[in-house]
Amino acid sequence: MNSRFKGKQPAPFSLMRIDISFELEQALVEQIEMALGAYVDHPDVATEIVTCGYNDGQFELELCYFSADGSYKNELVWLHKAVQSVVVPVPVFTVQIRQD
């Protein structure tokens, strides 16, 4: 058995997971869901919605996508645009980023 471990080079991309929540009136949930559907169907968006739901005044979703450089700014910009198409001013997002 070889006593030396031969590591592999890191993958050129990472799976990024973004957990987002924001306050939302229940009457706007369906409109936000439709806007998010259009958001993920846009050809410039590489994000998938893993989970999405409404709980006690908070809209919560988990997004995932592959990133070559670990950035998430563009994904948040697209999400902001989608929410802004329904709610003005855009609510404050609570964001948690995880890189796998």
Residue ranges covered by each domain of the chain: 14-99
Helix (H, G, I), strand (E, B) or coil at 21: strand
Residue 64 CA to residue 51 CA, distance in Å, equals 10
**pTM across the whole model:** 0.79
Angle between helices 29-41 and 73-84 (to 10 degrees): 140
26-54 pLDDT, tens digit per residue, is 999 999 999 999 988 888 788 899 999 99
pLDDT over threshold 70, residue 18: yes
- Topology annotation, domain 14-99: Alpha-Beta Plaits (3.30.70)
- pLDDT-based confidence at residue 5 (cuts at 50, 70, 90): low
Mean pLDDT score across all residues of the chain: 87
